[in-house]
């Protein structure tokens, strides 16, 4: 019940296209859903986060869509750029405690 399932495992998108990564969870106690971006040799960096009281949050080219009834959330990267090539992790936590991460998506943006 603590799992967060992420798909796809890898994704190739053309420059300027839309990258979409999906996550699903089981634990209804989760109340915070962040997305992290990680480059090789670096720690994860917070990209954008959402709470279950809203269905969508947008920051620049990054949008989280949240479906509470389906227990799913997704990251959309608009106008994808080669610099967006990285590994993306969704995560979830309850009551500001430990983060439970998805398995990661390796995103490649082709120029």
Nearest 5 degrees, angle CA 16-CA 17-CA 23?
135
Nearer to other proteins among residue 59 and residue 79 (C-beta): 59
Contact between 23 and 6 (Cβ < 8 Å): yes
Nearer to other proteins among residue 12 and residue 78 (C-beta): 12
103 in contact with other proteins (CB under 8 A): yes
Taking the complex as a whole, the smallest distance from the CB of residue 32 to other proteins amounts, in Å, to: 4
Choose the stretch contacting other proteins; rule: CB under 8 A; options: 13-21, 32-40, 57-65, 78-86. Answer: 32-40
The size of the chain, in residues, is: 111
Pairwise CA distance, residues 61 & 88, whole Å: 15
Count of residues that bind other proteins according to CB under 8 A: 23
Contact between 92 and 35 (Cβ < 8 Å): no
Contact between 6 and 25 (Cβ < 8 Å): no
Interface pick for other proteins out of 19, 21, 25, 34 (rule CB under 8 A): 34
Query: What does the binding site for other proteins look like in residue numbers (CB under 8 A)?
Result: 6, 32, 34, 36, 41-46, 49, 89, 91, 93, 96-104
């Amino acid at each position: 019940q603590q799992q967060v399932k992420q798909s796809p495992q890898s994704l190739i998108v053309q420059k300027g296209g839309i990258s979409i990564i999906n996550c699903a969870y089981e634990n209804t106690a989760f109340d915070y859903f962040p997305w992290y971006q990680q480059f090789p040799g670096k720690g994860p960096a917070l990209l954008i986060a959402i709470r279950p009281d809203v269905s969508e949050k947008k920051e620049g080219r990054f949008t989280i869509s949240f479906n509470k009834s389906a227990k799913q959330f997704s990251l959309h990267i608009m106008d994808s750029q080669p610099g967006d090539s990285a590994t993306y992790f969704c995560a979830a936590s309850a009551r500001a405690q430990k983060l439970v991460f998805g398995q990661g998506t390796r995103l490649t943006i082709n120029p």
